[in-house]
Chains A and B, each alone.
Chain A
């Protein structure tokens, strides 16, 4: 089998997402093991620096261009990828399991008659087949899966695979102008949350729980997040109480995250919360109750009052950063 791997490059505002570079690097590592090749496909209008994906291992990029494709259109994007793959005998598809990737990968799987493994956190090769590890029950368990279908789709959890530093290699970019895309489902506008980093993409997250005692005290969570350049998150209890928006919720019915640093303020550590953040590289917990379950997963903890400890942390971090 030729093992031709196609990686979908996600762009927002003409900029390539970091998670797509991670997917290209992972595809390139997999291609070596499978004696295959890697190419990339991008869809949008103008996209900056497409040739640079060569540095992560994609030899060529096909860019499908149309002003109406600048924003995501599930129908158009899926059609373009499926058509390209059938004309070019693609065997394996890689996506980032971002909000766009999670929406698009299953559509491409059906259109290309491929098996599908979502949200992979590790990929290995056994007897010329890919074995993917993926979390289930929000990370309370892991499964290893193999796809028996000839064609396969893998979506990789963002922030888990390391894209590494790029080499100087440039990809050969060819542009195809798209005539009339299938816009039966179409994004007409994007509302951005003002100036905030999303917990799903953040490298550092500062989350607050019921121990913050009220919505008015989340200023403290946000202030610590600001000095750390972090996103602010929340536990389910405070989201359900209406103190914080659902988009900030970390845990089994919120977002599963794996930042480099997760700081839990006044969060006791319910099992559904731990499931959503336990794969963070470093965890810090500040909680009055020294027996709170959060301390069982925390690398560093202070069993003290958040209202006393957090202002001191803000001051200390400001000091070392200045």
Chain B
């Protein structure tokens, strides 16, 4: 079976975010980009599934040449092949999902893993959207995954608990932290990944409905009062919470 995993290339969670001079985009200067953290769980689950049932894995990423860095990293973890859907322009989630769905279809992948969200635009929807375009069953925010024959059983994280969800192949799963422990790339894997070809393709042009009017930083929060350095400050703290903030 062919297993696909979709990965995005995002600013490091430790990065400070600055707005570009157009007032609509991120200023990438000084920002380190990484494999989207949730996608590492997706890659690990794809690799584990292949180890169990055999088949072939392919990673797909949509973006600029910079995304090749992320694709090389997942090849080094053990993914067999990589495809870059090359697009230097802005795409909204729906346009991203349409392009990914086309490629997944071309790859004939029956099982697809995504991270539950990219930590850049935080929409948490591209997996579900892609599944809809493919007509695949989809379970999102998954913390445990099992595949027996054609049948999939997952645990999906919800407020205050987990849903146990069942479905069948073909299916698309979005990974939440806790699903597994992503492996580190071995030296051998890193060397092998350097030699692998990243196949470049041109996705269908975007038809965006989301127009970004402006991007800004939130208003800075005023630093508050340090009330003391030990327990003697506690009565004053509790008084302020009750009388000034009125939150307790």
- Whether A300 touches B224, Cβ cut-off 8 Å, given contacts A99-B141, A284-B237, A308-B231, is yes
Residues in A with CB closer than 8 Å to B123 are 116, 118-119
Question: Which residue of the partner chain, among A131, A271, A320, contacts B242 with CB atoms under 8 Å?
Answer: A320
B106 contact set on A, CB distance < 8 A: none
A219 interface residue per 8 A CB criterion: no
| In-complex Cβ contact of B223 among A184, A281, A295, A317 (8 A) | A295
Q: Which residue of A lies closest to B178 (CB)?
A: A246
- B209-229 interface bits toward A, Cβ cutoff 8 Å, 1 = contact, 0 = none: 111111111100101111111
Q: How far is the CB of A69 from chain B (nearest CB, A)?
A: 14
Tell me the nearest residue of chain A to B226, going by C-beta. Answer: A301
- Interface flag for A45 (CB, 8 Å): no
Question: Which residue of chain A is the closest to B98 with respect to CB atoms?
Answer: A110
Q: Identify 11 new A-B residue pairs, CB closer than 8 A, beyond the known A253-B13, A301-B225, A309-B233.
A: A102-B124, A102-B125, A107-B132, A110-B97, A141-B218, A142-B215, A143-B214, A189-B163, A278-B221, A281-B247, A299-B225
Whether B209 contacts A149 by the Cβ 8 Å rule is yes
CB-contact partner of B157 in A71, A99, A141, A189, under 8 A: A99
13 A-B pairs, CB-CB below 8 angstroms? Answer: A116-B92, A118-B93, A135-B218, A141-B19, A144-B214, A145-B211, A190-B158, A246-B143, A252-B13, A275-B13, A300-B224, A309-B230, A317-B248
Among the listed stretches B69-77, B164-172, B186-194, B198-206, which one makes contact with chain A, having 4 or more residues with CB under 8 Å of it? B164-172
Question: Size class of A's contact patch?
Answer: 35 or more
Q: Which residues of B contact A298 (CB under 8 A)?
A: 223-224
Q: With a 10 A CB-CB cut-off, give which of A103, A111, A190 has the most chain B CB atoms.
A: A103
| Partner-contacting stretch, out of A22-30, A31-39, A52-60, A196-204 | A196-204
CB distance A111 to B132 under 8 Å?
yes
* A191 and B155 contact, CB distance less than 8 A: yes
Is B197 engaged at the interface, CB distance under 8 Å to the other chain? no
Q: Which residues of B contact A71 (CB under 8 A)?
A: 163
Question: Which of these binds chain A: B43-51, B53-61, B80-88, B114-122?
Answer: B114-122
Determine how close the nearest CB of chain A comes to the CB of B82; give it in whole angstroms.
24
Cβ of A6 to closest chain B Cβ, rounded Å: 18
B245 at the interface (CB under 8 A from A): yes
Query: Could you tell me if A303 and B226 are in contact, using CB atoms closer than 8 angstroms?
Result: yes
Within 8 A of B (CB), among A239-277: 245-247, 249, 251-254, 256, 260-261, 270-272, 275
Complex: how many Å from CA A138 to CA B10?
12
Q: Contact: A138 with B119, CB < 8 Å?
A: yes
Q: Which residues of A contact B226 (CB under 8 A)?
A: 290, 295, 301-303
A125 at the interface (CB under 8 A from B): no
Given contacts A191-B162, A278-B221, contact A272 B155 (CB under 8 A): no
A2 at the B interface (CB under 8 A): no
Q: Which of B92-114 contact A (CB under 8 A)?
A: 92-94, 97
User: In this assembly, does B22 line the interface, its C-beta being within 8 Å of a C-beta of chain A?
Assistant: no
Interface of B is mostly: mixed
Task: Given the known inter-chain contacts A115-B210, A137-B119, please indicate yes or no for A254 contacting B177, CB distance below 8 A.
Answer: yes
A83 at the interface (CB under 8 A from B): no
Q: Is the interface of A mostly helix, strand, loop or mixed?
A: mixed
- How far is A145 from B208 in the complex, measured between Cα atoms in Å? 12
* Binary CB contact string for chain B from 128 to 149 against chain A (1 if under 8 A, 0 otherwise): 1101110001111101000000
Smallest CB separation, A229 vs chain B (Å): 9
**CB under 8 Å from chain A, chain B span 24-42:** 24, 26, 37-38
Does B165 contact A143, Cβ atoms closer than 8 Å? no
Chain B: CB-nearest residue to A305: B230
Identity of the chain B residue whose Cβ is nearest the Cβ of A74 in the assembled complex: B138
Q: Chain A residues near B94 (CB, 8 Å)?
A: 109-110, 115-116
**A189 CB contacts on chain B under 8 angstroms:** 163-164
